[in-house]
Structure 1
C-alpha cells in the first residue's frame, strides 16, 4: 500500500519542477505539497491524520532583525500542532535548509538533533561559533562533489546504498552531533570539514564573520533521530537539482520515507521514552 506523504515548503528558493520530480518518480508514495503558511492549517491534528509522514523542506523563523525575536518563534497554534505530531508518533523527514529553521525554538533543535548555528551561541551546553557553508572566500554557495558512505550496522534507510554514492551538494561546517542513543549516524561524507574549505556564516554580524574561527566539523550528514514517539530522518543533503536527480539520493529518500512510516521505526521511537 502506498504511503501518504505531506511535503511542506516555502521560505527558501528551490527548483520546484526538479524537486517535485523526486516524488513523481516514486510509485510507492502519494504526495501532497503544501506551502507555508497554509501548512500550519493542514498540520493541525484535525487535518493531518490522513498522512503517514511529513517531510519538511521549508525555512521559517530566521531572525533577520536581531531586535525582532518574536518572528523567530512559532505561533502557539503551530507549536501545538508539532507537539501533536510527536505525541502521535508521525514519521518526520527534514531535508537541507529545514534543519536550520527556527533556530531560537528549542523544540525544533530537539527534533533535528542538529548542531548548526546561524550565528555564535550555545549548543549542548557549550558556546560554539556560527556554522560555515561550503565554498572558498567569496564563494559561499558553491556546492561540493563528495562521496557519501553508510556508517555502522546496516539500516533500512541505507539499504541498497552499501557501496555509497557520489553527490554534488551543499555542505555545512558545524560542531559534532551529540553522541546519544537517540541519534543514529547513517551516512558520512569524505569531504574535509575544515575551516579552510568553508565560508563564515553569511547571516552573522560582520564582526563575527571577520573573527570567525571554527574547529574541524562533523562529517555525518545523514542521521536518524527519535523524538518522543516519532522516528525522524535528518539529511543535510538535498540542496538542489544535482542532488534531486542523483540516483543514490533518490534511493536514500525513498528508503527514509518507507522507514519512518514503518512499525519498526515507530517501535524504535517509542522505546526512547522512559517507562511510566
Structure 2
C-alpha cells in the first residue's frame, strides 16, 4: 500500500513538472523549447569560390570566420565549377564569389544559370565583379561589368574601366530599410575603387560614393531568374576586411540572398 502511495505521488509530481515545462515554453521562458528566437540570424551554409586573383588569405579568412551565423566551404578554380553541378549545389544556401577568372567553360555556364534558376543566392564581392570578360550574361547576373577593354555605351566608345588603391571612400547608404543595409549609417572605408564601370539601370542601389575615381555605386542588389544577387565592389584587402561596417554588410548580404533558396 505504501509503495502504491509513493508511486501515485511520483506520477503527480512528474505531471506537475510537465505542465510547468509546457507553460514555460508557451511563455518563451525556456530557450530549449526549440524555435528560433525572433531576430536571430538563420545559420547559412556558404560556398566561397576563389581563384584567378590573389589576396591576403590570412586576414580575409579571419574576417570570414567571425561572420555570425555563417559557415563556409572554400572551392578554388578550376575545380570550383564542380560544386555548381546539380546534386552538389543544393547543399549550400548561398554562393560568395571572391574569384576573378576571365573565361568559363560552356558546361559551367549552364550549371551557373541553373543554380540561379533554383534560387541559390549570390554575393559578388570586389574583384569578382571583374570576372568573365567574354560571357555577356554575367553582366545581367551581377548587374553590371568591369570592362577590361574599350566598350560601347549609347553608340559611343568608352575607355576601359579603371582601379585605384588605398582611397578613403565616403560611402552613403542609399536604402537604410533594406535587409542588407539595415542598422548601417553612412561610413568611411579605405579601399580600392573601380571607375568607369557599367552598372545596369535595373539594379537597386544600396551604397554610393562621391569619390571621383570610383563609379557612383559601390553596392547594389539584383534579381536573376529566381535568385537574389548582391554586388559589393568594396573589399580589396584587410583595410576593408577589418572595418566592422564591411563585415556587417557582407554578413547581412549573405543572409538576405540565402533566404531565396527553395523559394524562401
TM-score, scaled to structure 1: 0.76
State the distance in 1 between where 2:155 and 2:138 align.
17
State the distance in 1 between where 2:128 and 2:182 align.
24
1:230 aligns to 2:260 (yes or no): no
Q: Deviations over 1:101-139 (max 9, x none)?
A: 1011011111111242111023576532111222xxxxx
Match of residue 137, structure 2, among 107, 126, 131? 107
1:249 aligns to 2:259 (yes or no): no
1:132 aligns to 2:162 (yes or no): yes
Q: Which runs of 5+ in 2 are unaligned?
A: 1-41
Aligned to 2:51: 10
State the distance in 2 between where 1:247 and 1:158 align.
13
In the TM superposition, residue 233 of structure 1 has moved relative to its aligned partner by: 0.3
State the distance in 1 between where 2:116 and 2:155 align.
24
State the distance in 2 between where 1:34 and 1:259 align.
22
Is the Cα contact below 8 Å between 2:144 and 2:197 reproduced in 1?
A: no
Match of residue 68, structure 2, among 19, 27, 40? 27
State the distance in 2 between where 1:153 and 1:127 align.
36
State the distance in 2 between where 1:97 and 1:175 align.
12
Richer in helix (by share): 2
In the TM superposition, residue 46 of structure 1 has moved relative to its aligned partner by: 1.6
In the TM superposition, residue 153 of structure 1 has moved relative to its aligned partner by: 5.7
Q: Using a 3 Å threshold, how does the CA distance of structure 1 residues 2 and 152 change in structure 2: closer, same or farther?
A: closer
State the distance in 2 between where 1:148 and 1:265 align.
33
Match of residue 173, structure 1, among 192, 195, 205? 195
TM-score, scaled to structure 2: 0.79
Q: Using a 3 Å threshold, how does the CA distance of structure 1 residues 146 and 110 change in structure 2: closer, same or farther?
A: same
* Partner-residue secondary structure (3-state), 1:158: coil
Q: Which runs of 5+ in 1 are unaligned?
A: 62-71, 135-141, 194-216, 268-276
1:79 aligns to 2:109 (yes or no): yes
Aligned positions of 1:165-244 closer than 5 A: 165-175=187-197, 177-180=199-202, 183-193=203-213, 218-244=215-241
User: Number of paired residues?
Assistant: 223
State the distance in 1 between where 2:163 and 2:262 align.
32
1:160 aligns to 2:183 (yes or no): yes
Aligned to 1:43: 84
Q: CA RMSD in A?
A: 2.0
